[in-house]
Structure 1
């Protein structure tokens, strides 16, 4: 059978379902709103995160030397690595307009986080005994920086590499989320909101990139029958499964710690279950976000 030419008009054009992109972006916005409403504006939400953070504080006291150094530097390491890979891809592929859009998405995600955290979202001072000295910290700036850097690289690679890029990048981004929680810089919900902010701007830039770069965002018949190792849908499935397991584990650990009945501003113990719940909550949803982002882009990639 003759090979399919790269100039063959696409049977399905890239980013063909405008309604789906609008819906996906709306879901990201709704996700941030729900996370803020549940974990920041309600007494159980504030108390659950406070207990998780207190448990993390207790465990942080046992960390010394190189462990603390790695945790402190992890956001910068991941962010800088993402920027370097992005610049290499830009020079190598010469997709200048796509690079500009990906860079704008990176900047917009970080700017959005700062605007939301400092001016839009207000953390109420509830009468529940939770200290208010930190004020609002949602979304996490460190996690947004890392996740947005991964998204920028994800936007620049060819469709056959996007699932693998999402899987590897998600591990790095959620490692920053985990480190940020262990360092007690942020509450778990702050990281969840950061992943969603990065995804929102990835979708916004991705829609334009796929529409304006149809030539390199369209797959041939052979690539669908014999997927490239980096573009196999199994990456999305594994990432989604891992995210679902970790997120479910966060709720199970919270229930094991006593659930809402055990929420108190003055715990008599430092529960390992609360720590585990917070750690899993800071990572699991991030894997789910990147799995959804990769699967969505694979669906909206053009086909010849």
Structure 2
């Protein structure tokens, strides 16, 4: 005799958890990407290509150098910690965190964000016109890689830990931004351009994530079979 206790409960219409939010990700990613691109372009046009802007940008750098002149050696020591080895180690830790949470997509996005943003930064350094005989320093490679690592860390952490990590990351990025200017390595415009590169790459990744979610929604998912009932062959 079949009773409610022994009879499996199978919904007539199995609930499928949709992968929503794709539209917000696509639109948000496009906006973020456009804003990041605009910030990088504006930094170069207004603070490098413009003579007045270049003088202002250089003057701010000199003023910051003067303020931190007494601790310049310490600033250089801190900046020296950023190397290929340290960045590689940080990436390994970030990927390990993501994989421990079974978030392969987040691990891939984190690596792509860090590497792509750095490739774009170095490419812009090489192709943008230089100021006279000087070497172009826009965008800042140090700020780009540190900022990208902070964002990548937020991607792989649990939601509960992101607020604290975000606050710490904000302090780290701000400190790195001031440090490269205080050391005389970069002008403020270079730092702003680095922010723009990170935002542009992050926006592109958001768009890709949103589009992938549409693919996940469009795929038909097989309904589960009741317990004890063999599936058709």
TM-score, normalised on structure 1? Answer: 0.56
1:165 is displaced (CA, Å) by 3.2
Q: Which residue of 2 aligns with 1:217?
A: none
Larger relative contact order (Cα-Cα within 8 Å, sequence gap ≥ 6): 2
* Unmatched runs of 5 consecutive residues or more in structure 1: 1-6, 126-131, 215-304
How many angstroms apart in 2 are the aligned matches of 1:70 and 1:180? 12
Q: Residue in 1 aligned with 2:147?
A: 147
- Please say if residues 111 and 152 of structure 2, whose CA atoms lie closer than 8 Å, have aligned partners that are also in contact: yes
Q: Does 1:20 align with 2:28?
A: yes
Rounded Cα–Cα distance in structure 1 between residues aligned with 2:79 and 2:181:
11
State the alpha-carbon separation in 1 of the partners of residues 32 and 67 from structure 2: 38
Contact 2:22 2:210 in 1 (8 A): yes
Task: Detail structure 1 runs of 4+ shifted over 6 Å in the superposition.
Answer: none
Question: Residues 78-103 of structure 1: CA distance to partner in whole angstroms, max 9, x if unpaired?
Answer: 84674354133123112223312221
Distance 1:202 1:33 in 2: 17
161 and 210 in structure 1: CA distance in 2 versus 1, 3 angstrom threshold: farther
In structure 2, stretches of 5+ residues that fail to align are 1-14, 215-233
Match in the other structure for 2:38: 30
Q: 1:166 to 1:68 in 2, by over 3 A?
A: closer
Mapping of 1:91-130 within 5 angstroms? Answer: 91-119=99-127, 121-125=128-132
Secondary structure at 2:49 match in 1:
coil
Q: Which has the larger radius of gyration?
A: 2
CA distance in 1, matches of 2:76, 2:186: 17
Q: Is the 8 A contact 1:106 1:201 kept in 2?
A: no
Cα offset, 1:182, TM superposition = 1.0
Distance 2:213 2:156 in 1: 11
